[in-house]
Structure 1
Amino acid sequence: MKARNSVGSSDGLPARHVDAFLDRLRAARYSEVTLGKKRRVLAAFSLWMKSQNIDLAHLDESDAALFMKRLSNAPAPRVQFELAVLRLFLVYLRNEGIVHLPSVNCQSAVADIHDRYVDYLRQERGLAKNSVLVYGPFIRDFLDCQDVGNGTVLPDAFDAVTIRNHLLARSRGRSGEYMRLMTVSLRSFCHFLFLRGYTPHDLYESVPTVRKCRQSSVPTFLTPEQEEVIIASTDRSTPRGRRDYAILLLLARLGLRAGEIVALELGDIRWRSGELVIHGKGRMVEHVPLLSDVGEALASYLQTDRGTSASRRVFLRMWAPRVGLTGPAAIGHIVRLAFVRADFRPACRGAAHLFRHGLATMMIRSGASMAEIAEVLRHRSQDSTAIYAKVAFEELRGVARSWPTTGGA
């Protein structure tokens, strides 16, 4: 049974808690209009708490769900907004110790193994966040399929035949790239199981690999002319435009990855030495030169538009809460909007990476060596750089033999 106020009638939500919560959001740069809407939601929730005699100390998500039932016929945006307000308010109350933390049930074996595997990827393998987000769901899906029904793993779950059967069952109608990522994830998981003592032998080799022809295609890239049109499409008279302009320059001039831009912090900009500290793949920390136009764009955004924030990230969201961008997908979204403004429609995915390919292509056509390109792009393997040799089409034509003609002439 849900806890009620045992002393007497409920007082609902004390005004001091609501005011303190809204002040916290105000500091995070929420607008007064938005704060007014949130206050009205909390006022209605407070009246409902009084009518239901709900004890504030035991408030939880089930109360919010009951309160939301009154909006069964309301538009979806209103429902989503009010529910988000209540969830955020609950987090605040728990962090302040006003509301009891929810009781935590014993974690199932499936969830425990999954969490241990994710920790292994982060702590021991040093995988980037994006890689963990790729591997994790594949393994969670596998573990869910081995669940007895109560969170316990089947006795033969970690068996070579079971793993292969799972792979075959999931292969129907899937692309080659999807299957390649699944097999890589399962092979990694098998190695983890062996290292942690779940299996007596490493089943790594029992997972079949998916063939992928390396260097089989020419990388899609942006020409210098296309890059300049795309960069010029940003409206630099607006805060958003100045932020996006700086991001596009980091992509085009320095060939940074989307994740590296998201992770960039204020302390990573070394103004005196004229360099940026980049936190790259595999926890690599590297230094790249801060070019003059990139530095000017960053300085303009930081001085005029970024504003104050508890976040140390260089690039912040335009809307409250004013925190760092959520991830590489946010950079991709910014790039795709620039493509639309420039009326550019690439026939491939990975919008932000096209700038990186463009930089490498420009360098090789200017006579740069593979080693120089690898240094600029910060490749750890020469194989990653070798594919750019294909974009020097004119040079390749020079070494190609003529097509034989009739009569051998």
Structure 2
Amino acid sequence: MKATNTVGASDGLPARHIAGFLDRLRTARYSEVTLCKKRRVLSAFSRWMKSRNVALGNLDESATALFMERLTDAPADRVRFELAVLRLFLAYLRGEAIVRLPTVSDQSAIAHIYGRYLDYLRQDRGLAKNSVLVYGPFIRDFLNSQDAGDGSILPNAFDAVTIRNHLLAHSKGRSGEYTRLMAVALRSFCHFLFLRGDTPRDLYELVPTVRKWRQSTVPTFLTPEQADALIASADRSTPCGRRDYAILLLLARLGLRAGEIVALELGDIHWRSAELVIHGKGQMVEHVPLPSEVGEAIAMYLRDDRCASASRRVFLRMWAPRVGLAGPAAIGHIVRQAFARAGFRPACRGAAHLFRHGLATTMIRHGASIVEIAEVLRHRSQDSTAIYAKVAFEDLRGVARSWPTVGGAI
């Protein structure tokens, strides 16, 4: 984007585009106070465009970045707010075909290959959104380290030695799990490069692996009493509490993953057959029974609290915009709030997953087989379920050998 327009003088932002944008936000239930603040930002941006002779057709991220430079000494909250307004407005203009979408030729080589890699993860590998969010930053950091200074990639970037040196340099002072995930992401990226034809051979096997012993620990879980206490902590006299109550029941009674709850849509609830359609990991689509307790909680939330929304997601944000929850982290936040209300302190990260571990643990202690637990948890491999055998402590005592007594050891 160029800051000046040689065709003619810029008139800034037409008032009809600002009004249309604010009307769109109004339907998403933004408050009038918030809309006034956004209008002030866009009015200032319009004046800036006119002073810099920036035409509407040339609007892109570089223009907004130049506009934001005036806030060098401004409070961080103001910077974040104005940047969010401009990003949302630019997305609106592109969605309405008022401003063209950036083409491949507009992107740097690094941005282009990074976008292609994310598409590969989503479309070819079928990875869940959360997995893409794990892999992506590692590869973005690697590509940025190979920037020639003009957005192009250094000649030896896709070389086994370069990739290995990057892994070793960026693993210093990091945890074993962080290093392991970085190695996994780099190995995945090497395979992507080979499939794209960027490397003559697959460098996948040349990236060092980080050893992680499978099933070396006993899974942390919630007891049935703890799960019930967390569910009971939800304040069902409020709309937010009724929403959270339904979410906690889905976690505890069905063992759903956080991402599966976020992705649940209105059409996925089959009321007559009492089933839920779950969009799981690896683009798997499965049907699970809908217990009456869970169904009643969801029905109450939908009837009394969800309100009208263009979104088809079952669970929406409580504040504008009234759209689906942002991601699995939103479910984790709801669970952590329940822990705080119940006076519990989770012993590990991923608090939402403790319900899933708790369901499996309760099942195995009541005599369920590994095959049955794998079916309920929808594991594609029983190896993922085998770790729960460790929590059947009474059964393990029956097969454990006696500890040698004094004089009994050789």
Asked if Structure 1 and Structure 2 have the same fold, meaning a TM-score greater than 0.5 normalized by the shorter chain, the answer is: yes
1:385 aligned partner: 385
2:276·2:287 contact (CA, 8 Å) conserved in 1? Answer: yes
Task: State the distance in 2 between where 1:197 and 1:28 align.
Answer: 45
1:24 aligned partner: 24
The alpha carbon displacement at 1:36 in A equals 3.2
TM-score by length of 1: 0.90
2:361 aligned partner: 361
Question: Which secondary structure does the structure 1 equivalent of 2:276 belong to?
Answer: strand
CA spacing shift, 1:161–1:280, aligned 2, 3 Å: same
With 160-169 and 205-214 compared, the bigger mean Cα shift is at: 160-169
- Following superposition of structure 1 onto structure 2, how do residues 366-377 of structure 1 map, counting pairs within 5 Å? 366-377=366-377
Of 3, 6, 14, 2:5 maps to 3
- Following superposition of structure 1 onto structure 2, how do residues 220-239 of structure 1 map, counting pairs within 5 Å? 220-239=220-239
Question: 5+ unaligned residues in a row in structure 1: which ranges?
Answer: none
Task: State the distance in 1 between where 2:55 and 2:107 align.
Answer: 28
Task: State the distance in 2 between where 1:136 and 1:64 align.
Answer: 25
1:208 aligned partner: 208
1:329 equivalenced with 2:333 (yes/no): no
CA spacing shift, 1:68–1:138, aligned 2, 3 Å: closer
Q: How many residues align?
A: 407
CA spacing shift, 1:150–1:397, aligned 2, 3 Å: same
Deviations 1:17-74 (A, max 9, x none): 3333222111111123322333344455556667777655555666656665666655
Task: State the distance in 2 between where 1:401 and 1:389 align.
Answer: 17
With 283-292 and 115-124 compared, the bigger mean Cα shift is at: 115-124
1:111 equivalenced with 2:111 (yes/no): yes
With 392-401 and 324-333 compared, the bigger mean Cα shift is at: 392-401
1:4·1:54 contact (CA, 8 Å) conserved in 2? Answer: no
CA spacing shift, 1:42–1:288, aligned 2, 3 Å: same
1:277·1:285 contact (CA, 8 Å) conserved in 2? Answer: yes
Task: State the distance in 1 between where 2:44 and 2:204 align.
Answer: 57
Deviations 1:293-332 (A, max 9, x none): 1000100111111111111111111111111111111111
1:251·1:257 contact (CA, 8 Å) conserved in 2? Answer: yes
2:140 aligned partner: 140
TM-score by length of 2: 0.90
Task: State the distance in 2 between where 1:326 and 1:83 align.
Answer: 19
Question: Which secondary structure does the structure 1 equivalent of 2:141 belong to?
Answer: helix
Question: 5+ unaligned residues in a row in structure 2: which ranges?
Answer: none
Paired AA for residue 147 in structure 2? D
Task: State the distance in 2 between where 1:74 and 1:137 align.
Answer: 28
1:345 aligned partner: 345
1:265·1:312 contact (CA, 8 Å) conserved in 2? Answer: yes
1:5·1:54 contact (CA, 8 Å) conserved in 2? Answer: no
Identity of aligned residues (%): 79
With 53-62 and 127-136 compared, the bigger mean Cα shift is at: 53-62
Question: Which secondary structure does the structure 2 equivalent of 1:402 belong to?
Answer: coil
CA spacing shift, 1:13–1:183, aligned 2, 3 Å: closer
CA spacing shift, 1:367–1:285, aligned 2, 3 Å: same
Task: State the distance in 1 between where 2:7 and 2:383 align.
Answer: 67
Task: State the distance in 2 between where 1:14 and 1:151 align.
Answer: 33
